[in-house]
Amino acid sequence: MAFLDNSGTIIIDAILTEIGRKRMAQGDFKISKFALGDDEVDYREFSASALTTALQGAKITNQPLFEALSQHNAVIDYGLITFDRQDLLYLPVVKTNIKVRGFAKPTGSYYYVSTNSQTSKKLKTIFKDNDYFIEAGSLTQTKLVFQAGLDNNILNDKRNRKTLLIDNGLLDNYFNVYCDARLVTNVLSTDSKSIFRNDLSGNLKHELKLLGTSVPVSLTPPVEYYNTFIVEAAPTEVYQYDNTTNPDDYSALSGPGGSMAGIGLKLKPELIGDSNHSPDTKFSTFGYTDQTLFGGSDKYDYIDSSIYIEGLSSNARLQIPIRIIRYAGT
The residue that leads in pLDDT, 176 or 48, is 176
pLDDT attached to residue 188: 95
- Taking the C-alpha atoms of residue 172 and residue 166, their distance in angstroms, rounded to an integer, is 9
H or E element, residue 24: helix 18-25
| Mean pLDDT over each residue of the chain, to the nearest integer | 90
- Asked whether the beta carbons of 135 and 210 are under 8 A apart, the reply is no
- pLDDT-based confidence at 1, cuts 50/70/90? low
pLDDT attached to residue 230: 96
pLDDT at 22 over 60: yes
pLDDT at 65 over 80: no
Q: What angle do CA 94, 110, 255 make, to 5 degrees?
A: 25
pLDDT at 254 over 70: yes
- Taking the C-alpha atoms of residue 301 and residue 8, their distance in angstroms, rounded to an integer, is 53
pLDDT at 178 over 80: yes
pLDDT attached to residue 21: 86
Average pLDDT (153-178) is: 94
DSSP letter assigned to residue 300: E
pLDDT attached to residue 61: 78
pLDDT attached to residue 72: 63
> pLDDT tens for residues 191-232?
999 999 999 988 999 998 877 888 899 888 888 899 999 999
pLDDT attached to residue 2: 65
Q: Which among 99, 230, 77, 237 has a CA at the least distance from the CA of 165?
A: 237
pLDDT at 5 over 80: no
- Taking the C-alpha atoms of residue 106 and residue 187, their distance in angstroms, rounded to an integer, is 19
Find how far residue 131's CA is from the centre of its chain. Answer: 19
